[in-house]
């Protein structure tokens, strides 16, 4: 039976090889029952509006803080030039430990971007932010500003969940009277969102209009954009009841 043996032996050898290969393989891979859960999503930080001058502002703030650290648990005012130029902030709110960290020309998303440097380190009990005026003038829409407002609140609450937040509405400036309609729309969107988020909304738009419903020229300096003392007196009166 040489012929049969010559046929059977290769078949038996092939079967043994297949059997050994099957035995040596490990069990099929299955998902682990204890697989780690995905990390909790963090708030989206909007893209920074590039301006090298603001890095200089950050360094100036940090140098000031190194020389005279502001009190933790204070009341932080942050935002654009209407905050930066409020030179009488401490006198206007006597007994309130105010911190002024306005940087001129900034937009709302810039305060979000720099929060780790000029918000979180102070652990303020309250933040009052004025931003949005420059944003709309630069072409951002009311809905984009609304989204930026949400991102700012989420960013603050990520590290400072107990800090109170107040949003100071867009102001009506004579030099930007063409923006009144979009400012009204943005203010309306943010006011509704602020209520939902438990944020104070401070309306300084309405008391800065004249009898005809236009920006009151008497509240501004020559550039018709930044306020004079009369404008800040209105802000002082309107904001004071909201201070915590």
pLDDT of the residue at 41: 54
The ranges assigned to domains in the chain are: 52-242
CATH code, residues 52-242: 3.40.50.1110
The residue among 116, 152, 158 whose CA lies nearest residue 131 is 152
pLDDT at res. 3: 39
For 184-237, the pLDDT digits (tens) are 999 999 999 999 999 999 999 999 999 999 999 999 999 999 999 999 999 999
Burial class (CB in 10 A: 0-12, 13-18, 19+), 194: buried
User: Taking the mean position of all CA atoms in its chain, how far away is CA 142?
Assistant: 15
Q: Is the dihedral of CA 19, 21, 27, 29 positive or negative?
A: negative
- Condensed to tens digits (0 to 9), the pLDDT of residues 10-29 reads 444 444 444 444 444 443 34
Query: How does DSSP assign 197-217, residue by residue?
Result: HT-EEE--SGGGB-TTSSB-G
Total-model pTM: 0.81
Name the band, by pLDDT with cuts 50, 70 and 90, for residue 40: very low
Whether pLDDT at 7 is above 80: no
pLDDT in tens, 147-166: 999 999 999 999 999 999 99
Quote the pLDDT of residue 104: 86
Taking the C-alpha atoms of residue 147 and residue 46, their distance in angstroms, rounded to an integer, is: 9
48: confidence class by pLDDT, cuts 50, 70, 90: low
Q: Quote the pLDDT of residue 46.
A: 62
Q: What average pLDDT is seen over the chain?
A: 86
User: At 197, phi and psi to the nearest 5?
Assistant: -90, -5
Q: How confident is the model at residue 33 (pLDDT cuts 50, 70, 90)?
A: very low
pLDDT at 34: 40
């Amino acid at each position: 039976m040489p012929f049969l043996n010559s046929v059977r032996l290769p078949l038996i050898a092939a079967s043994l090889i297949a059997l050994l290969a099957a035995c040596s393989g490990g069990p099929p891979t299955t998902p682990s029952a204890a697989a780690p859960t995905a990390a909790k999503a963090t708030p989206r930080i909007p893209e920074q509006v590039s301006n090298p001058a603001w890095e200089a502002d950050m360094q100036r703030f940090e140098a000031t803080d190194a020389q005279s650290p502001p009190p933790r648990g204070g009341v932080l005012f942050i935002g654009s030039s209407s905050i930066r130029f409020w030179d009488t902030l401490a006198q206007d709110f006597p007994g309130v430990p105010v911190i002024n960290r306005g940087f001129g020309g900034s937009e709302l998303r810039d305060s979000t971007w720099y929060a780790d440097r000029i918000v979180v380190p102070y652990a303020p009990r309250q933040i009052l932010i004025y931003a949005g005026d420059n944003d709309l003038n630069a072409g951002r829409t009311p809905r984009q500003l609304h989204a930026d407002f949400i991102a700012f609140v989420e960013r603050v609450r990520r590290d400072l969940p107990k800090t109170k937040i107040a949003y100071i509405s867009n102001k009506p400036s004579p030099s930007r009277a063409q923006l009144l309609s979009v400012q009204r729309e943005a203010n309306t969107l943010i006011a509704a969102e602020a209520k939902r988020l438990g944020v104070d909304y401070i309306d300084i738009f309405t008391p800065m209009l004249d009898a005809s419903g236009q920006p009151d020229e008497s509240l501004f300096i020559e550039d018709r954009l930044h306020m004079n003392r009369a404008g800040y007196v209105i802000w002082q009166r309107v904001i004071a009841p909201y201070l915590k």
